[in-house]
Structure formats: structure tokens, C-alpha cells
Amino acid sequence: MPPRSTHLAVAAAATLCMSTAAVAQAPNASMSSASARISPSDRSATDEVQVRLISASSRVVPGQTVLLALEQRIAPHWHTYWRNPGDSGQPTSIEWKLPTGAQAGDILWPAPKRFDVGPITNYGYEDRALLLTEVRLPQDLTPGGSATLSAEATWLVCREACIPQQATLTLVLPVAARAMDSSEADTLARARAALPVAVPYPVSARIDGREMTLSWPAQAPGPVDIRQALFLPNDWGRIEHAAKPALTRAGNDWHLRMPVGEQPAQAGQPIEGLLLVDGRAWTVHPTVTGGAATSATSATAAGVDNLGLWTAMGLALVGGLILNLMPCVFPVLAIKALGFLHGEPREHRRQGLAYTAGVLVAFAALATALLALRAAGSGVGWGFQFQSPIFVLSLAWLMFVLGLSLAGVLEIGAGFAGMGNGLASRSGLSGSFFTGVLATVVATPCTAPFMGAAMAYALAQSPVPLFAVFLSLGLGLALPYLALAWWPALQRGLPRPGRWMEVLKQGLAFPMFAAAIWLVWVLAQQAGPAGVLLALAGMGMLALAAWLRRVSRRASAGWRWTGAGGAIAAMLATASLLPMAASDNLSTDVASPRNPGAMREGGDPAGAAQAEFEPYSPERLAALRAQGKPVFVNLTASWCITCLVNERVALSTADVRDAFAAKGVTYLKGDWTRQDPRITELLRRHQRSGVPLYLFYPAGIGSDAQVLPQLLTPGIVVSALQAGAT
């Protein structure tokens, strides 16, 4: 799912928490069970889509061009995808098995419908779709025989969830001396007549910076007044699909303006697609004029120094807002939002300010740490603290104790407050402040769109701009909670108080436990089995401390002191394990930059079947580029949730693996789980402050790297490979 994986990102956020991160490690068994493979015939069905292979001819003659159609009857509220699915999705594809000498044309795509789901925009079909294809039969067919036409159709059908499906459909058509139409001939003829045709008036396209404008004469055939116009490019990345285009009339011309996307067309190149004018679809292919196009990604790759402080702050603000939807942050926000169901508006506003202060202080501390490390000569970036096993181990223990607290297994009193264990569930201003701190901590393994350019700009600046960008990111993270606190009208959308609140609170413990499990897995990549033993031993002692505190709280004075002393001793014993996590002796067999070969043997951070990859090294990349071979570089880390999701939904798919093999692409993978200066240098060279970073070097000596989006889909990767590899 290039940033078109946002479909998955939004769905992951709705599952409440880091549980997505734990699921991302599991073997990808559900994908195969969701696919529908059906025995060959002329029709097939799943619960979501009924498919049928239709011919306009019931009898054919040698050399005839036969019109065929893949009919999709789609269940209510579900949809399949057009050739350019938009922000997410996968277009329907057909692989033909035909008689020797027969040739099948491309799919003749009918005009799609635009689907807007939150921040996601897709193009596709609902109810019924007829995907036409012309097949030219060979001349050497023998009358009296038959022609067998088989189509292996693959499609993605989506509602809230998406299900990949496929079916093998077969038609056996008699070969005769004279062709005969079938009962479906009229249906297919009407479908062909409804296909978009070339626009009957001149259309021009101009790009200025990050905006593209399509223009056409107002006296063109059609209505004098146009209510709505859309442009749907054939290729992904040409425009920002979710942006609402602006239609204006200036003199004798209509102008349709829209922001360019991740891969805009450049001056002198044609841009093909559909122009939809009040529901009528026309095909257009104007040659682009104007200046160089710059998308958010290409602007970053071209040099973030030209980004500008205000632009970087705006990108950081939007990135911070999106972080609230990431599986790392959502449960923390949900826990605190329950507090708005009680209390006075004045107190709510104070809580909102305290939460915002906690977020901003945490981001300021993070910026200070980055400046200090940069001054010391360290190459660091976003999420750098997760490269420390001590930090990962400490956070795993914190998530574990928070889960115990939310589940009601332990009551955290003032004696534990100094440890920060109950901060997310505490009342009062201190609870809100430290919840803001916690939200910042758990947000750092996530990377949201728009953040890459802003963070890269900030890390290249002096302290004042760096702090401005980081505080803008923090403000974006805090804004949803702050808005709920200051505008009671927003709180009215929350359900009424009741027993469900306690049940929900207890349920939110399990995402915390999932987060702890995931962090222990990250620690295993850094410190090996001994690191896992340290983590589990610490959790056991923390559970003992909690139990001692609980059973002794209502005992006599002597037993209370004994219980408190035992709890303190257990916590001190836990703390004594922390330095051991940083020992080099723990990581001798770990897949890390120190032992890159182990990663290929079985230490793959995604834990999923992927295309065969080699560990990244500058020397290997330089050697491959010198040979002119296409190269795909994936810079990742075990603690980077965005990286793991991308590897699960995009890089681990059969389509991407097959594309790598078919195009002869060498896949290099750099693991930044623990600091590696070679990876840091490559990140810096492409103006990135952290992972993920995906680079594709097309075939040819001296070819420049294409920077792919931070959110991937299989279609984005395959499209990039097909456009650049030879």
C-alpha cells in the first residue's frame, strides 16, 4: 500500500494501537486465505465479486479480432480499481493463455468513479464493470475446430478492508467458416461505445512549481456552464489525488488547477488521462509546458535547503497531525480523551494546555539532544533513540507496566509516580503533562507523510530553525487533544459515560502489551536472545514489585514497610539490568550493521518472505551502478513501524518479488536498527533525517536515484521498476 499505502495506515490507526506493529511481524498467512482461487470455467464468484468472461462472438473465424469482456459484478459498498487506483489499491490485471499466434490487446478501461474515504482518494468501479479486451486470433485456425481462450484475472476489492482475489476463466469458441454474434454482443457493443473517446477540442497542460493547470476553450462542444471537472491521470503520481481541483473561467478558456503528485510529468513530456466534464469522460494527452515540476518528494531530493522555514514548519505541523493516526500514538490519545466525559470545561482546557506543554517540552528535549549529538560529531536523525538497546528496554518495561495499570491488575500510587509508570492514566495536570511526554516518546518510531522534508530541513539548520520545526511538529501532534479540550462542541460527539469506559480502559491495556512485545522483538534484533532474557526478567521483577505493593497496601504498618521495601528492591534489581543491554557481548549473533550477513540468513526485520536481498554497503551499490544494473535500496530499522508495514504490504508481495526478478533488479537492504554511519551518510545525501528511505536506481551507468514515497504500495514499487528498469 508509495504513499498509496495510506489505505493501510488509516486502517491500522483505527485498530487503536501498536498492536499493528506486532501483527506486522506475523507470517503472512491471512493474505493467501483471503485470495480466492477458483477452478477454471467461464465464470466464478466470491462473496464480494462475481466474475464472468464474455465474448461478443459465439462462433469465430480464422484471423478474426474477437471482443471479450471481463465482467465484474461487485457487492454493495465494495469496489475494484481503475488502471490508476489513486492513493491506494491495485488495478485489475488479466494474463491471457491463447492459441499459438493469437494476440491480446490491453484492457480498454471504462471511465471510473472517484471514491473519497477520509484523506484517501481512489478511482475504481462499483456495482458492475465491463473490462473489454480485443483478441486477434491466428489465421491458421481450422474450421470445425475450436479456440480456447483462458484469462487469469487478478483484482483487489475493497470496502473498509481490502481482499486480493483471482480466478481463471476459460471460453471455448467454435471455429467456423462464418462468424456469429453471441447473445452478449449488444451488451459489449454498448460498453465499447461508452468508452472515453478523444477530446474534440484542444487541451493544454502547464506546470508551474507544484501546480499543474489544464486549459481548454470555453466555446468547446458541451455545456456553456461547467459545474464540475476532474482530471484522472493514467499514471500514478502525476497529481495529488485527494486534493480538490480548482475550476475557473478566464475569458474564453476554462482552467483546472491541481497540485502535482510524487512523480509529476516534466516539461516536454506528454501527460495522459481522462478529463471528466460534468460526468462526460474524454481522453487527453497534452504535452506539458512550463517550468520544472516539484513534488514534496522531489523537492526534498533536490535539496531541502530551498524549502524555507515557514514551509518546513507547515509540513511539520501536518506531519504531527497525521502522527495521531499512527498505531503508536492513537491509544495514548484515546486514554486521555476519556477524561472529557467528566469534569468542567475550565478543567478540560487546563488539561489540554498541560498535555500540549508536555508534548512541546518533550520535542524541545529531543531537539536539544539532537543538537548535542550533532555537536559531538554523531550522525543522528528522527527516532535515533531507538538505536539504543537501553532506551528500547526501558520503553518495553514502561509499556508493560502501563498495560498492567490499565487492566486494573495494579494500582499505581504516588510511590510509582516518579517512575512515570501511571502517567497516562493519572488525573490532574501532571498526568496530562506526562501523557504528552509519553505520546512524543511512542511517536518517534513512526514516520508520517510530510515529515521527511521538514525533519531533513531542520537537522541541516542552526538551533533556532531546528527548534521551530520540532515545536511545529509537536504542536501538530497536540492539536487534536487541544481542540477537544477547548471546544466543548467537539466533545458532544463522544458517547455518554458508563461502564463501557472501564471496559474500554481495560481493553486498551492489550495494545500496550502488544507494544511491549514488539519492543522486545526490536531488542532481539539489537541484543540477541540474551536481550530478550533481560527484558522478560525485568518484566517479571516489575510484576513482583507491583504485587508486593498491592498486597501490602492495606496491611499493618510493619508489613506495609516490608512490602514497600521489597517493591523498591525489585525495581532496583530491574534497573540494574539496563547496563547489560548495551553490552557488545549480547549482540554477537544479531543481524545488525556489525554482522550484516546474519540479516540475510534469517534476521529479516519484517519476518516475511521477501524478494532476495543483499545487505547494503556503499561498495556494493557503487559496483552495481558501475555495471549499469538497476538497484532498489531499502533503508529500514526494526523499530520503525512505517518500515515494517511497508515491508509487509508492499515489498513482501508476490507482484514486487516477481517484478524484481523480471527486471533484473538487485535489492539492497540497509538495517539502521543500530547506528551505522554508512547508512546515515546515504540518508544525509538524500536530505533525510531517518528511515524509511526507498531509492530506485534505473538501469544505466550514471542514472540518478528515484526517491519513492515513505508509504508504499505494490503498485508504486512495480510502476517505478517498470518505468526505469530495462
Least confident of 86-100, 217-231, 443-457, 600-614: 600-614
**What percent of the chain clears pLDDT 70, i.e. is strictly above it?**
71
The residue type of 102 is: A
Cα–Cα nearest to 170, from 39, 328, 25, 333: 39
Mean pLDDT: which of 20-24, 62-66, 443-447, 520-524 is highest? 62-66
Distance from C-alpha of 22 to C-alpha of 14, rounded to nearest angstrom: 15
Show the cell assigned to 502.
472501564
Which burial class, exposed, middle or buried, applies to 592 when counting CB atoms under 10 A from its CB (0-12, 13-18, 19+)?
Answer: buried
CA dihedral 525, 530, 534, 539 (to 10 degrees): 70
Show the cell assigned to 584.
557488545
Q: 586 with 595: CB under 8 angstroms? A: no
Mean of pLDDT values over 384-398: 70
Give the residue carrying C-alpha cell 491500522. Answer: 12
Cα–Cα nearest to 415, from 432, 401, 429, 436: 401
Report how far Cα 247 is from the mean position of its chain's Cα atoms: 30
Distance from C-alpha of 323 to C-alpha of 317, rounded to nearest angstrom: 10
Least confident of 65-69, 341-345, 406-410, 417-421: 417-421
At what angle are helices 309-323 and 451-459 packed, to 10 degrees?
130
> Are 35-193 and 198-294 equal in CATH topology?
yes
Q: 141 with 174: CB under 8 angstroms? A: no
What's the chain's average pLDDT? Answer: 75
Show the cell assigned to 684.
544525509
Sign of CA dihedral 98, 195, 714, 666: positive
| 551: Cα within 13 Å, side-chain hemisphere | 10
**What percent of the chain clears pLDDT 90, i.e. is strictly above it?**
24
Cα–Cα nearest to 472, from 317, 356, 361: 317
Q: Where are the beta strands (DSSP E) in 656-705?
A: 666-671, 693-697
- Please check the confidence at residue 116 and state whether its pLDDT lies above 90: no
Report how far Cα 363 is from the mean position of its chain's Cα atoms: 24
- Please check the confidence at residue 306 and state whether its pLDDT lies above 60: no
Show the cell assigned to 711.
508509504
Which residues are within 8 A (CB) of 411 and not within 5 positions of it... i.e. 6 or more apart? Answer: 405, 550, 553
Distance from C-alpha of 358 to C-alpha of 62, rounded to nearest angstrom: 77
pLDDT in tens, 245-302: 999 988 788 999 999 887 788 888 889 999 999 888 999 999 998 755 544 444 444 4
Question: Three-state SS for 250?
Answer: strand
Beta strand 211-217 pairing with 246-250? unpaired
The band of 60, judged by pLDDT with boundaries at 50, 70 and 90, is very high
- Please check the confidence at residue 80 and state whether its pLDDT lies above 90: yes
Give the full edge-to-edge strand order of the sheet including 103-104.
43-45, 49-55, 65-74, 128-136, 103-104
Give the residue carrying C-alpha cell 532506551. Answer: 391
Distance from C-alpha of 692 to C-alpha of 6, rounded to nearest angstrom: 15
The band of 190, judged by pLDDT with boundaries at 50, 70 and 90, is very high
Helix or strand run (H / E) with residue 516: helix 509-552
- Please check the confidence at residue 82 and state whether its pLDDT lies above 90: yes
* pLDDT confidence of residue 224: 64
Which residues are within 8 A (CB) of 572 and not within 5 positions of it... i.e. 6 or more apart? Answer: none
The band of 149, judged by pLDDT with boundaries at 50, 70 and 90, is very high
Show the cell assigned to 59.
462462433
**Cα angle, residue 302 at apex, residues 301 and 307 outer, rounded to 5°:** 95
Mean of pLDDT values over 482-506: 67
Show the cell assigned to 350.
487546563
Q: How many residues does the chain have?
A: 726
Give the residue carrying C-alpha cell 543491554. Answer: 581
* Domain chopping of the chain, boundaries: 35-193, 198-294, 300-585, 596-724
The band of 225, judged by pLDDT with boundaries at 50, 70 and 90, is confident
**Cα angle, residue 623 at apex, residues 619 and 629 outer, rounded to 5°:** 135
Radius of gyration of the chain (CA): 29
Output DSSP code: residue 220: S
Mean pLDDT: which of 125-129, 196-200, 482-486, 619-623 is highest? 125-129
- Please, what CATH class does the domain formed by 35-193 belong to? mainly beta
Distance from C-alpha of 209 to C-alpha of 223, rounded to nearest angstrom: 31
Cα–Cα nearest to 105, from 132, 140, 139, 77: 132
The residue type of 408 is: G
Question: Three-state SS for 419?
Answer: coil
The band of 23, judged by pLDDT with boundaries at 50, 70 and 90, is very low
Q: 104 with 153: CB under 8 angstroms? A: no
The band of 112, judged by pLDDT with boundaries at 50, 70 and 90, is very high
- Please check the confidence at residue 238 and state whether its pLDDT lies above 60: yes
Mean of pLDDT values over 233-244: 86
Distance from C-alpha of 574 to C-alpha of 580, rounded to nearest angstrom: 11
Beta bridge partners of 249: 254
The third-level CATH classification (topology) of the domain covering 596-724 is Glutaredoxin (3.40.30)
CA dihedral 98, 99, 105, 110 (to 10 degrees): -50
pTM over 0.85: no
Mean of pLDDT values over 357-365: 85
Distance from C-alpha of 196 to C-alpha of 193, rounded to nearest angstrom: 8
Cα–Cα nearest to 243, from 160, 120, 326: 120
Largest CA distance in the chain: 105
CATH code for residues 198-294: 2.60.40
Show the cell assigned to 68.
471479450
